[in-house]
Amino acid sequence: MHIQDIFAQHPTTFSFEFFPPKTDEASEELFRTIAALQPLQPSFVSVTYGAGGTTRDRTHDLVVRIERDTNLTAVSHLTCVCHSLAEMTAILDRYAASGIENVLALGGDPPKNLANFDRTKDAFRYAEELVRFVRSRPGANGRGFGVGVAGFPEGHPGCPNRLQEMDHLKRKVDAGADYICTQLFFDNRDFYDFRERCDLAGIKVPILAGIMPITSKAGMVRMAELAAGAHFPAKLIRAVGRCADDAAVARVGISWATEQCADLLHHTVRGIHFYTLNRSDATRQIYQNLGVESSAALRAG
Ligand code: FAD
């Protein structure tokens, strides 16, 4: 389904993010995860794109398989880094031919082994240019692709000037984005402030809040590295610090994420996007803690 139709039908969206597995075994495991999450009735799911196109085929194949074998709509992530215009054109034409209707257009970061990669060879430097290009393509069914972009409630490290950063986000939206999905955050005040700053900048598209429960101490360290310095409130650090083992950390992390979701719903969030890490337990537990069996029940409340 086109993302515009999803937003028209769902006053609040609930979406789950997966990454493409590397092996057949992990792929089957992921489909067991997806089967376990399907009863929650997400509005859509999304599939990440490995840095520099390292998962180009796996992302494509996973999105196609989700759309073919389940009743879910899948959004395919796509990044600018390491792609020529011919490659981008080929990727989008293949998506369209496969019936993939929606893309999350991202700047991306160079792969770790190519830290000094020469970006002048890329067709697009910033996501804004990719959004414009994706919009210019016919897409599946000749309707054009649905397009999402990333937003950073705590700020993106590539732009320390928060006023300029908001200008960049506004340009990205004006280039044709249908919605913004945010980076994970642990303090809802960061999200509410971001949402208000977007409003002041004249950004009116839906803003989906990115939620990722902490499930282990090592996972927390990885989040801090990958999410470019996620801000962990002192209260959360203290609570995790008290935990005897990772099972206890997961209980604390899931409880924290549940509180975040309840508060976001109370503050009429337009959507919640769960970073699942290809596991179903934490997301299912959050729904259970919220007292519901599906997204439909969350929307109704
Ligand atoms: P951009 O919008 O291009 O912005 C990058 C930086 O450049 C920002 O600091 C911005 O302010 C600045 N900027 C933008 N335009 C201009 C301009 N005209 N002049 C000067 N500066 C400018 N990465 C992956 O590799 N694969 C994924 O699948 C993936 N999925 C993600 C999903 C979500 C929801 C989020 C939040 C992030 C995801 N990322 C993914 C990470 C993302 O690619 C990186 O964080 C990247 O550094 C920023 O991407 P962007 O789309 O915001 O880039």
- Interface predicted TM-score of the whole assembly (ipTM), two decimals: 0.99
The predicted-structure confidence for 254-281, as pLDDT tens digits, reads as follows 999 999 999 999 999 999 999 999 999 9
Query: What b-and-e string marks burial along 138-152, b requiring 16 or more CB atoms within 10 Å of the CB?
Result: ebbeeebbbbbbbbb
Token pair recorded at residue 46: 């999304």
Q: What is the pLDDT of residue 229?
A: 66
Task: State in Å: Cα 160 to ligand 1 middle.
Answer: 14
* C-alpha closest to that of 229 among 196, 262, 186: 186
Cα separation, 296 vs 210, in Å, equals 19
Q: Please give the tally of structural domains in the chain.
A: 1
Handedness of CA 235, 294, 265, 279 (dihedral sign): positive
User: Which residues constitute the domain of residue 211?
Assistant: 3-298
User: Residue 142: is its pLDDT beyond 90?
Assistant: no
Confidence grade of residue 42 (pLDDT, cut at 50, 70, 90): very high
The predicted-structure confidence for 198-207, as pLDDT tens digits, reads as follows 999 999 999 9
Q: Across residues 277-299, what is the average pLDDT?
A: 96
Q: Across residues 210-221, what is the average pLDDT?
A: 96
Cα separation, 166 vs 160, in Å, equals 11
Token pair recorded at residue 251: 């209980």
CATH number of the domain that residue 253 is part of: 3.20.20.220
Handedness of CA 155, 156, 161, 163 (dihedral sign): negative
Find the residues whose C-beta lies inside 6 A of ligand 1: 48-49, 51, 77, 79, 106-109, 126-128, 150, 156, 158-159, 165, 168, 172, 181, 183, 210
Task: State in Å: Cα 189 to ligand 1 middle.
Answer: 22
Comparing 34-43, 125-134, 221-230, 261-270, the range with the smallest average pLDDT is: 221-230
165 catalytic, yes or no?
A: no
With 0-12 / 13-18 / 19 or more C-beta atoms within 10 angstroms meaning exposed / middle / buried, residue 65 is: middle
Task: State in Å: Cα 255 to ligand 1 middle.
Answer: 29
User: Residue 171: is its pLDDT beyond 90?
Assistant: yes
Average pLDDT, the chain: 95
Pair 82, 116: CB distance under 8 Å: no
User: Residue 114: is its pLDDT beyond 80?
Assistant: no
Q: How many CA atoms lie within 13 A of 165 on its CB side?
A: 16
Q: Across residues 33-43, what is the average pLDDT?
A: 98
Token pair recorded at residue 223: 């989040």
User: Residue 228: is its pLDDT beyond 90?
Assistant: no
Which residue has the least CA distance to atom 49 on ligand 1? 107
Q: Across residues 97-119, what is the average pLDDT?
A: 87
Token pair recorded at residue 195: 């949402």
Cα separation, 108 vs 87, in Å, equals 16
